[in-house]
Structure 1
Amino acid sequence: MKKYFITGLLVLVPLFITVWVLKTLVQTLDQSLLLLPVSWRPEALLGVDIPGFGVILTVAIVLTTGLVATNIFGQQLIVLWEGLLIRVPVVKSIYSSVKQVSDTLFSDSGNAFRQALLIQYPRQGVWTIAFLTGTPGGDVANHLPGEYVSVYVPTTPNPTSGFFLMLPKADVIALDMSVDQALKYIISMGTVAPLSKHH
């Protein structure tokens, strides 16, 4: 009986979690319908609410924005828009920080997570996986003797939150695994052992 119950859980839990994540994602993206006038929304036009219609609208908005932003006229508009934003004190700091992070994460030349590393954290003798993000810069670098690296330590099972650390380069060990494999290892809480990059 216990064996059948556990087998059932192993089949159903991933399925339920996947459905829940997709449902949450669709519901979140459906909020874009609020941008449309009430008379243009599916429930007004068709008399029925269509789940997922907001996903299509969101994708269309993103693609249109990308299309406009790639031509010269669109680039001028973006420069003008950003010029207005950076004149507002509080908005300036938030927008600039978010834009730098998004440029690093999403651009083709972005290299947010360059390499998977093994480091001792939060204390000596306890090891965790981190990602190389670069080297300390600005005045910070002037106060760090020797060669240091900047790393991001993600939390488990949600790697979108974590800690930013600056460590001596000698204290980090480069791992023979891809960033994707390391992320899977973290998200699975260590249950999905990654292969080396050479396998």
Structure 2
Amino acid sequence: MRKYFITGLLVLVPLAITLWVLNLVISTMDQSLLLVPVNWRPAALFGRDIPGLGTILTIAIVFLTGLLANNLVGNYLVRLWERLLHRIPVVSSLYGSVKQVSDTLFSSSGNAFRKAVLLPYPHADSWTIGFLTGVPGGDVKNHLVGDYVSVYVPTTPNPTSGFFLMLERSKVIELDMSVDAALKYIVSMGVVAPEHLPTKESAALVSAPVE
């Protein structure tokens, strides 16, 4: 019975968590219906709420905003709106910081996580996986002697929080692993290991011609 119970948990727990997350996302996005006049909401038109309708509305708003921002008039309006926000003292710093992060994470030309790396953390005898995010800039680089890189070390199992470190490049080992595979490895707490890749030596032996 213990074996069957654990097997059932392994099947149902991932499904339950997936449904819970989807329900949370959809219910949150459904709040966009509050932007619609009361007489146009599903409860007034059909007598009941329709789950997921707000999600469709949110996706449509995001798409239309992107479509508008990509033309000349829309781009001008966006820049005008941003100049207005930058004139508001508290909003200016908050909006500017959030925009820089979002541009880095979501821009097609951005490199939020450039490479998965292995680094000693939190001490020399312990290792963890992090992500290269660039090199130190500003006045920080004036106080660092040598070749340093910026690394983000996510926490487990929630990779949205973590630590920002600046390490010597020689102490960071680049991994032959995609960012997606590294994130799965971190979120699963090491349970879902990435596919084994042949070492450089073994790959060279396999590719070497047979005499």
**Shorter-chain TM-score range:** over 0.9
Measure, in 2, the Cα distance between the counterparts of 1:180 and 1:197. Answer: 15
Q: Deviations over 1:160-182 (max 9, x none)?
A: 11111111111111111010100
Equivalent residues of 1:148, 1:169 under 8 A apart: yes
Structure 2 unaligned blocks of 5 or more: 200-211
Measure, in 1, the Cα distance between the counterparts of 2:144 and 2:197. Answer: 32
Equivalent residues of 1:178, 1:196 under 8 A apart: no
Measure, in 2, the Cα distance between the counterparts of 1:152 and 1:198. Answer: 27
1:188 Cα shift?
0.8
Match of 1:22 in 2: 22
Structure 1 unaligned blocks of 5 or more: none
CA change 1:197–1:26 in 2 (3 A) is farther
State the one-letter code of the partner of 1:73. V
Measure, in 2, the Cα distance between the counterparts of 1:191 and 1:169. Answer: 28
CA RMSD between the two structures: 1.3
Measure, in 1, the Cα distance between the counterparts of 2:191 and 2:35. Answer: 43
State the one-letter code of the partner of 1:59. I
Measure, in 2, the Cα distance between the counterparts of 1:36 and 1:144. Answer: 53
* Superposition pairs of residues 124-139 of structure 1, within 5 angstroms: 124-139=124-139
Match of 1:69 in 2: 69
Q: Deviations over 1:143-196 (max 9, x none)?
A: 011010001011111111111111111111111101010001011110011126
1:197 Cα shift?
6.8
Match of 2:4 in 1: 4
* Superposition pairs of residues 1-199 of structure 1, within 5 angstroms: 1-195=1-195
1:198 Cα shift?
7.4
Measure, in 2, the Cα distance between the counterparts of 1:102 and 1:177. Answer: 24
Alignment partner of 1:163: what SS? strand
Q: Deviations over 1:19-47 (max 9, x none)?
A: 00100010110111111111111111111
Alignment partner of 1:123: what SS? coil
Identity of aligned residues (%): 70
Equivalent residues of 1:178, 1:197 under 8 A apart: no
Measure, in 2, the Cα distance between the counterparts of 1:95 and 1:196. Answer: 43
State the one-letter code of the partner of 1:166. M
State the one-letter code of the partner of 2:67. L
CA change 1:161–1:87 in 2 (3 A) is same
Equivalent residues of 1:105, 1:112 under 8 A apart: yes
Structure with higher Rg: it is 2
Q: Deviations over 1:82-116 (max 9, x none)?
A: 00000111111111111111111111101100000
Measure, in 1, the Cα distance between the counterparts of 2:141 and 2:38. Answer: 54
**Divergent runs of 4+, >3 A:** 196-199
Measure, in 2, the Cα distance between the counterparts of 1:33 and 1:83. Answer: 29
Aligned length: 199
Equivalent residues of 1:177, 1:196 under 8 A apart: no
